[in-house]
């Protein structure tokens, strides 16, 4: 465990305000909310608490900006130039953004730095899409007809982001919406608002026209709900829990707007005996403890071939003991704090319930003490003797908790993987490509990693099946989510055949 003192110092309290029509403003109610760092127990940010008034103004600002054509009327080259400037500004501000991200979320500073700096690549890729977006043409409809399929921006997009990857997930959505020519209203989580406010500063500096991106700080009620129901909003894209995603779908149905959802996951890594077991063990440990397990892609389920189960479990227990949990501001830390005290209680309840149902705690299973910091840390935890009937086998715990099950055949491994309402991601480890491909075809998930875990690229679409969501983010498919398709049918050179005989008139 990592209890050493960090060389980084906690900055003065960050003050955040709404960004509406290119101007920073406070709430009409003069209400503010404070974020206490889950790791250090001090107030790290204070932001305006928005309500219906600020949300309505932000939406109407985005609507006016879209209808004016100040952004969607620009060429792809011109929009792309702004996006490229944002990428450069992100890289110039990594340290400032990452520090607040770590303090608000509890994640290690090295992880925050990687996420912030890596986000710049999203903007550069999105900039390329702005310049290369194309539709279709059809010259085979007859000698007097030509068909063209156009793609155009969907309009005003509400972007609602979560607390676990506040900057990264914003950057999986915003640059692609802007590249398509949309205007936006963004609501970050009330737990992690600061990096989104900082993004607003960079957008202004990059020259984004006023009203194209608006930021409202606040809670799901009323801000998020209004962003999902407002008649001037054409699309909602949300990342968060499946329960809230369902609520957004119901709310948005009033106006039948488009909804894109990236929701929960209960993701499995399946290990066959002929895999590189050393690499696999390291990936399992990384997959479950990364971001303290507070990750929709967390590989919280380990599905092991029974021939290797005993020695493999022993290996991951020993590796888990070496993972550095502790002060997020220490560069040596690999795993930081849990986001809230309420969430750590929820994690512990799942562990205790599973134990009462017959599961065995092979490692951890309790709150972790870190000298000089808060009590919002949880031990690396491994649970064996798991059956499908246990809630921990299928529910998203969202913490550093790994469950272990075994299988005999490929068919059984696929069945176990699919034995959950979620379908976000999965991984398979085997040196037999045929085994990997059969597994890939058989599992109902949006992403499958083979002999690796959680590698991602801006070019590769991301999203889930079943109750893990709908639609896709990043890549060409993620870009297309923000576009409408319009068919244009044109007659060329000949008079249209009459439907009504008009010779007597």
Residues annotated as part of the active site: 262, 296
Q: By three-state DSSP, how is residue 61 classified?
A: helix
Maximum distance among all Cα pairs of the chain, rounded to whole angstroms: 98
Instruction: Give the whole-angstrom CA distance, residue 352 versus residue 364.
Output: 12
Task: Return the sign of the alpha-carbon dihedral for residues 19, 21, 25, 29.
Answer: negative
Give one DSSP letter per residue of 352-378, joined into a string: HHHHHTT-EEEE--SB---TTS-S--B
Cα–Cα distances in Å, from 376 out to 107, 337, 367? 12, 6, 8
The pairs formed by 134-138 with CB atoms below 8 angstroms and a separation of 24 or more are 135/485
Instruction: Give the whole-angstrom CA distance, residue 282 versus residue 35.
Output: 34
Q: In what order do the strands lie in the sheet with 14-16?
A: 14-16, 43-48, 32-36
401 in Cβ contact with 350 (< 8 Å): yes
276 in Cβ contact with 451 (< 8 Å): yes
28 in Cβ contact with 51 (< 8 Å): yes
Q: Is 284 exposed, middle or buried (0-12, 13-18, 19+ CB in 10 A)?
A: buried
Give one DSSP letter per residue of 372-404, joined into a string: TS-S--B--EEEES--TTSGGGTS---SSEEEE
Q: Is 320 exposed, middle or buried (0-12, 13-18, 19+ CB in 10 A)?
A: buried
């Amino acid at each position: 465990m990592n209890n050493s003192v960090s060389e980084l110092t906690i900055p003065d309290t960050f003050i955040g305000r709404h960004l509406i029509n290119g101007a920073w403003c406070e709430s009409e109610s003069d209400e503010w909310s404070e974020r206490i760092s889950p790791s250090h127990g001090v107030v790290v940010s204070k932001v305006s608490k928005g309500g219906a008034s600020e949300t309505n103004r932000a939406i109407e600002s985005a609507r006016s900006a879209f209808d004016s054509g100040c952004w969607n009327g620009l060429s792809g080259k011109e929009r792309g130039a702004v996006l490229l400037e944002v990428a450069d500004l992100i890289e110039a501000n990594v340290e400032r953004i990452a520090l607040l991200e770590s303090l608000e979320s509890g994640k290690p500073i090295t992880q925050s730095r990687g996420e912030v700096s890596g986000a710049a690549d999203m903007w550069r890729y999105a900039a390329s899409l702005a310049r290369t977006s194309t539709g279709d043409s059809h010259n085979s409809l007859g000698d007097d007809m030509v068909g063209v399929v156009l793609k155009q921006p969907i309009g005003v997009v509400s972007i609602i982001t979560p607390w676990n990857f506040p900057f990264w997930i914003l950057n999986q959505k915003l640059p692609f919406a802007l590249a398509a020519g949309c205007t936006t209203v963004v609501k970050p989580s009330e737990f992690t608002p600061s990096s989104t406010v900082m993004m607003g500063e960079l957008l202004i500096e990059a020259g984004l026209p006023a009203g194209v991106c608006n930021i409202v700080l606040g809670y799901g009620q009323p801000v998020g709900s209004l962003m999902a129901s407002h008649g001037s909003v054409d699309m909602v894209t949300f990342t968060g829990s499946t329960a809230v995603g369902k609520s957004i779908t119901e709310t948005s149905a009033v106006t039948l707007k488009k909804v894109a959802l990236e929701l929960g996951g209960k993701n499995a890594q399946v290990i066959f005996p002929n895999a590189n077991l050393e690499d696999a063990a390291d990936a399992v440990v990384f997959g479950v403890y990364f971001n303290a397990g507070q990750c929709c892609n967390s590989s919280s389920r380990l599905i092991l071939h029974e021939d290797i189960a005993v020695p493999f479990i022993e290996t991951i227990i020993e590796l888990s003991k070496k993972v550095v949990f502790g002060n997020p501001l220490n560069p040596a830390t690999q795993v930081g704090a849990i986001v809230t005290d309420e969430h750590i209680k929820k994690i512990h309840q799942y562990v205790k319930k599973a134990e009462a149902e017959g599961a065995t705690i092979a490692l951890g299973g309790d709150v972790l003490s870190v000298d000089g910091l808060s009590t919002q840390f949880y031990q690396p935890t491994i649970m064996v003797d798991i059956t499908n009937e246990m809630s921990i086998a299928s529910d998203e715990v969202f913490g550093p908790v790994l469950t272990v099950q075994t299988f005999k055949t490929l068919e059984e491994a696929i069945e176990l993987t699919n034995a959950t309402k979620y379908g976000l991601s999965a991984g398979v480890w085997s040196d037999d490509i045929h085994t990997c491909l059969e597994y890939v075809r058989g599992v109902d998930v949006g992403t499958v990693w083979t002999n690796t875990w959680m590698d991602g690229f801006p070019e590769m679409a991301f999203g889930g099946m079943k109750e893990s969501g709908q639609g896709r983010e990043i890549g060409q498919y993620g870009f297309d989510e923000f576009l409408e398709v319009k068919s244009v049918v044109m007659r060329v050179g000949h008079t249209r055949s009459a439907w009504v005989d008009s010779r007597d008139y």
